[in-house]
Structures are given as structure tokens and as C-alpha cells.
């Protein structure tokens, strides 16, 4: 019996394409399509956020109906009356409110022609905090990503500071309030500031910081006054982070950590066998305070395999390998047209391109460790939903089970092919290169119904080495023949076709017992080599005996 595999899917949104919940459910569909032993899979989805836009919906989904959305009358960044949603819920007899700043002060509320951080204000956020306290909330959680403002939180403070509340802020950046890495210089340009405006905004922020520090000292809060300009995250949301820290006593927490702690993310990762996370764009910021970076951190702690799925990746393999990320799948690899990739993200995440199944070719080889005979390789594309109770890594099956599965795979596959690399070529290019060459030749030979050549859109390879093939994205999966259905099918075809060949040539050279040992280095085979020497099928680059001088050439 095989133990149940625990897979945790914990993605962020794909901005402009799919919510975190849609990403999670689409990935679950894809996993159940291609993984073997689906009855032995337990998949848990935990869509999360890091405090930016969309966090309200993520939190509402995660709370499973134990929360209510309340529409609050407030003001947008240009002081126009609007209604903004606030989430109200209770935990352990404490009444919480979650406020997403983007809902009242967000850039998405403005037309591009209205972007102007000299005019926008956080007053509407202050109104929402007041109304949350008026509803009896004593703990306010806040996501401050996606703002259109750069007023240092002055508008929010103008609305008043309620008493008797504690504030936690989901903050996914570490920028300080001022300076070249501060609120203005880093974030104001995307909010509409040009070079001249940046200088004015920075001077205004410096003046406001001086006033804030003076007020805090008047209240006797010397520590917060001293840290006001330097607190990590103080520059978030145009300085709102610093204002919340200084005047509300807020705790600034990485957004992924805030939401993760609420829903036992660390405990779930600790018990998972594999973890999948992702977001729309995977870049250096992803690994610095955002959800993907937080999940990566926990996976390193518990030595868990982590896969990242994204719309596009801006990081090379060396960077993400440093963070112990096992693999990165980008939708741009299978749909290079960015507009189409964004539009069809949910379908692509499910493994569907256009109106058809995404064609995954599984590749594997057999015979790497043999002392004689070719290495055989296979490529298989299975139809959507293909499942067989015996399908598994060929090494885990009996000869009878492999022979039973072979005609089923060859009949039911959308396309399949087997190729062989002979011993003399193995000796010339080495077994690793021969194995890769065999798999690529199998891919060359893929044919579907009525012998029509078939080109895969994604290649899944057992092991950890492969070479680029026809600009088709490939992913190496260690132990893939026991995880991915198409790779398992390829391992069975490679093994059965090779065994058939070895039984055939065993009739030519019966003294080696190849019909029994398949030319692997058994005692029987080595003794025969010592007695009879080598044949045209032996791999002379291998150490055929402990002392190669005793061979007869």
C-alpha cells in the first residue's frame, strides 16, 4: 500500500487574471489531471494574500462564511463620497475588522488622468477606522497595498484616532519613510509623480515627519519618535505605515505572515509532502516580503519541496534555486502572447490551451545501469483524465503488470514513441547524454491517431537533467515516474520495449543470461563476461569487471 500524499496549494492572486481562490482551484484541477495515484492524493487549497488589493476577498473565502462584508460610507483618494467594503468577524470573543486600504484609497479607484499624489488623501481610510471602532471592533487588521496616496497618513490622522483599539498592519515592503529607498522616491512615480513633484513630495514628507516626531515626544513616546523615520515598512502606502506605527501603536507585519498565522500556514506546510505557491509575476520582490517568499522561507525550514507557478518569471534558475525552490512553471512558457496569457490564465492553469487539453509529454528511460544493450527511452502524451489502478513507476511493478499496462498505454495514449541509443553511442557520448538523446529522439517520433506527428506543449522529464528541445518548455522532476502519470507510462514503455529487445538478443548470446538479468551487473552476468569476454552489445566504457584487464577483446 502507498501512503497518502499531502499537497498544499497556497497561491496569491494573478493580478488582472485570476483571484487567489481561482488560482488554487485551477491548480487543483491540473494536479488531479496529471498525477498518478489520485485516490492517494490529499490536496488542500489555502488561497492567501499579502495585504494588497484583493485581500478582503481572500480573507472572506478563508473564513468560510464566518464573517460579513459591511459597506461603509467614506471617501475616495480625491474626497469623492463612495461606499467601501469592510470585513467584520469574531475570533475567540474578540471582534475584528479588516480594512483594505485599496478599497478607499486605491490607485484602481482613479482614472489614469487623475493620478496626482499631491492631491490624493488618506482621509477615507481614517473614516473607515473610525467606523470600525464604532461597530465595536477592538482589533483592526489592515492591508495597505495598492494606494494612490503619498501624504504620510496626514489625511487618516485628520479623521481622528479612536481609543481602545489595537492595529495590525499587513505590510509586504520594508522601505523606510524617507530617502532614496523611501515612500516617495520608490512608489510615488507609479502614482503619477514626475521628477519635480518627487522633490516637492519628499520635502513635504520631511516636514510632516518632523511634526509627527514632535507630537510623539509631547506624548512622552520617545521610542516611537526615534524610530518614526527608520521603522521598516514605514514608507508603505505613501507613509501610512509610519503614521500607523507612530500614532496607532500598530504592529507592522509581513502580510503573508499575518494571514498565515490566522490560518495555520506553518503547521500546514510542516505536514505537507509538497507545496505549490505562485503569483502573476515572479521577480525579486516576490522573495522579499511577499507571499511566495514567505512560503519559501517556511518550506526551507521544514525541508519541503516547493513549486512556484506564475504568469511570467523574471528570475533565472540560479536565483530561485538559492531559495530551495524546486521548480518554476510560467504560463508564458506555453502561451508567449502576454495578452492571451493574462486573458486565459485560469484555463492555462488547469492545463488547457484554447479549447483543447494542454499536451504534456512524459519522458523516461530504461537501462542506464546495464552493462550491455541500448538505453531505451519513451515519450507519452496521455488523454485528459487517463487513470489506471496499476499505473506507477515501472520499477514498482511486476513484469506481468508492466506487460498488462503496455498495450493499454499504447492504445489509449494521444501519442507515444520509443527510441533506443546503442552501446557504441553510449560509449562515445556517455550514458547521461545518451539518455537525454534517447528521450529527445522519442519526442521526435511522437505520433498520434493514424500516425499523425504530435508536438507537445510541455515536457515532463524523470530525473534532474535534460537539454532544451525545440523551444518547448521542460521540467525535470526527481522521482517523476512515481508522481506524474505520463512519466510513469513512459517508464513502462521504455522498460517493456527494452526487455523485449534484450530477450531477443539473448538468443544470439545465451551464455550471459540477458533474458533473465536484462544485462544488469548481476553475479551471473559478470561471471559470463569473465569467462566469455565481451560482445558487440557490451558498453566498453563501463567497468564490466572489478579488473578490466581480465576482459577478452
Hey, what domains does the chain have and what are their CATH numbers?
5-48+264-353 (3.40.50.10350), 55-257 (3.90.1510.10), 359-504 (3.30.420.10)
Mean pLDDT of 313-333: 91
What is the pTM assigned to this prediction?
A: 0.81
pLDDT of res. 384 = 83
pLDDT in tens, 457-486: 999 999 999 999 998 999 999 889 988 999
- Name the least confident of 217-221, 230-234, 315-319, 355-359: 355-359
Q: With 90 as the cut, is the pLDDT of residue 67 above it? A: no
Q: Of 224, 229, 237, 216, nearest to 177 (Cα)?
A: 229
pLDDT of res. 102 = 93
Q: Of 282, 273, 279, 268, nearest to 349 (Cα)?
A: 279
Q: With 70 as the cut, is the pLDDT of residue 547 above it? A: no
Counting residues of the chain whose pLDDT is more than 70, the rounded percentage is 97
pLDDT of res. 3 = 58
Element (H, E) at 9: strand 5-9
CA gap 516, 20 in Å, rounded: 53
Q: Of 124, 132, 121, nearest to 162 (Cα)?
A: 132
Burial letters 98-116, b for 16+ CB under 10 A, else e: bbbbbbbbbbebbeeeebb
Q: Of 373, 411, 377, 405, nearest to 391 (Cα)?
A: 405
Q: With 60 as the cut, is the pLDDT of residue 550 above it? A: no
pLDDT in tens, 134-185: 999 999 999 998 899 999 999 999 999 999 999 999 987 889 999 999 999 9
CA gap 31, 324 in Å, rounded: 21
Q: Is 232 helix (H, G, I), strand (E, B) or coil?
A: coil
Q: Of 54, 32, 26, 8, nearest to 331 (Cα)?
A: 26
pLDDT in tens, 235-280: 999 999 999 999 999 999 988 888 898 889 999 999 999 999 999 9
CA gap 58, 452 in Å, rounded: 46
Residues 6+ apart with CB under 8 A from 13: 19, 20, 23, 49, 54, 58, 279, 280
Q: Are 355 and 325 in contact (CB under 8 A)?
A: no
Mean pLDDT of 352-369: 87
Q: With 90 as the cut, is the pLDDT of residue 91 above it? A: no
Amino acid at each position: 500500500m502507498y501512503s497518502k500524499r499531502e499537497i498544499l496549494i497556497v497561491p496569491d492572486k494573478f493580478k488582472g487574471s485570476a483571484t487567489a481562490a481561482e488560482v488554487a482551484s485551477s491548480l487543483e484541477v491540473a494536479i488531479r489531471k496529471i498525477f498518478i495515484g489520485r485516490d492517494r492524493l490529499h490536496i488542500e487549497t489555502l488561497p492567501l494574500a499579502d495585504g494588497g488589493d484583493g485581500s478582503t476577498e481572500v480573507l472572506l473565502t478563508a473564513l468560510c462564511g464566518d464573517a460579513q462584508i459591511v459597506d461603509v460610507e467614506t471617501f475616495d483618494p480625491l474626497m469623492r463620497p463612495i461606499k467601501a467594503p469592510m470585513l467584520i468577524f469574531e475570533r475567540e470573543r474578540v471582534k475584528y475588522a479588516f480594512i483594505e486600504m485599496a478599497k478607499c484609497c486605491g490607485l484602481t479607484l482613479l482614472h489614469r488622468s487623475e493620478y496626482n499624489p499631491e492631491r490624493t488623501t488618506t482621509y477615507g481610510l481614517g473614516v473607515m477606522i473610525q467606523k470600525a471602532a464604532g461597530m465595536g471592533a477592538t482589533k483592526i487588521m489592515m492591508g495597505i497595498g495598492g494606494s494612490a496616496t503619498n501624504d504620510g497618513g496626514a489625511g487618516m490622522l485628520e479623521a481622528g484616532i479612536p481609543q481602545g483599539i489595537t492595529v495590525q498592519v499587513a505590510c509586504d515592503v520594508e522601505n523606510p519613510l524617507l530617502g532614496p529607498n523611501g515612500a516617495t522616491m520608490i512608489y510615488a512615480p507609479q502614482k503619477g509623480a514626475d521628477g519635480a513633484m518627487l522633490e516637492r513630495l519628499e520635502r513635504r514628507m520631511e516636514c510632516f515627519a518632523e511634526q509627527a516626531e514632535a507630537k510623539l515626544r509631547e506624548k512622552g513616546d520617545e521610542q516611537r519618535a526615534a524610530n518614526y523615520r527608520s521603522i521598516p515598512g514605514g514608507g508603505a502606502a505613501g507613509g501610512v505605515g509610519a503614521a500607523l506605527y507612530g500614532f496607532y501603536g500598530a504592529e507592522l507585519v509581513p502580510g503573508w505572515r499575518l494571514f498565515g498565522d490566522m490560518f495555520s500556514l506553518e503547521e500546514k506546510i510542516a505536514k505537507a509532502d509538497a507545496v505549490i505557491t505562485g503569483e502573476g509575476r515572479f521577480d525579486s520582490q516576490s522573495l522579499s516580503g511577499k507571499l511566495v517568499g514567505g512560503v519559501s522561507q517556511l518550506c526551507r525550514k521544514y525541508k519541503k519541496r516547493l513549486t512556484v507557478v506564475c504568469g511570467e518569471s523574471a528570475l533565472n534558475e540560479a536565483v530561485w534555486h538559492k531559495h530551495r525552490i524546486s521548480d518554476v512553471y510560467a504560463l508564458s512558457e506555453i502561451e508567449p502572447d502576454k495578452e492571451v496569457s493574462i486573458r486565459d490564465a485560469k484555463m492555462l492553469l488547469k492545463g488547457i490551451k484554447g479549447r483543447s487539453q494542454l499536451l504534456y509529454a512524459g519522458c523516461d528511460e530504461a537501462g542506464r545501469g546495464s552493462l550491455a544493450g541500448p538505453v531505451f527511452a519513451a515519450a507519452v502524451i496521455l488523454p485528459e483524465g487517463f487513470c489506471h489502478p496499476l499505473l506507477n513507476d515501472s520499477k514498482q511493478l511486476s513484469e506481468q503488470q508492466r506487460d498488462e499496462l503496455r498495450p493499454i498505454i499504447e492504445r489509449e495514449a494521444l501519442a507515444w514513441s520509443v527510441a533506443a541509443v546503442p552501446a557504441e553511442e553510449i560509449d562515445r557520448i556517455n550514458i547521461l547524454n545518451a539518455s537525454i538523446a534517447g528521450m529527445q529522439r522519442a519526442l521526435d517520433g511522437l505520433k498520434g491517431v493514424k500516425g499523425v506527428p504530435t508536438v507537445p506543449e510541455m515536457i515532463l522529464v524523470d530525473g534532474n537533467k535534460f537539454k532544451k528541445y525545440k523551444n518547448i518548455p521542460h521540467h525535470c522532476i526527481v522521482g517523476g515516474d512515481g508522481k506524474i502519470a505520463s512519466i510513469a507510462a513512459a517508464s513502462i514503455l521504455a522498460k517493456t520495449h527494452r526487455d523485449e529487445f534484450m530477450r531477443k538478443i539473448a538468443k544470439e548470446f545465451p551464455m550471459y543470461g540477458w533474458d533473465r538479468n536484462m544485462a544488469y551487473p548481476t553475479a551471473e552476468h559478470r561471471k559470463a563476461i569473465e569467462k566469455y569476454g565481451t560482445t558487440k552489445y557490451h558498453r566498453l566504457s563501463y567497468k564490466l569487471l572489478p579488473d578490466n584487464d581480465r576482459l577478452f577483446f
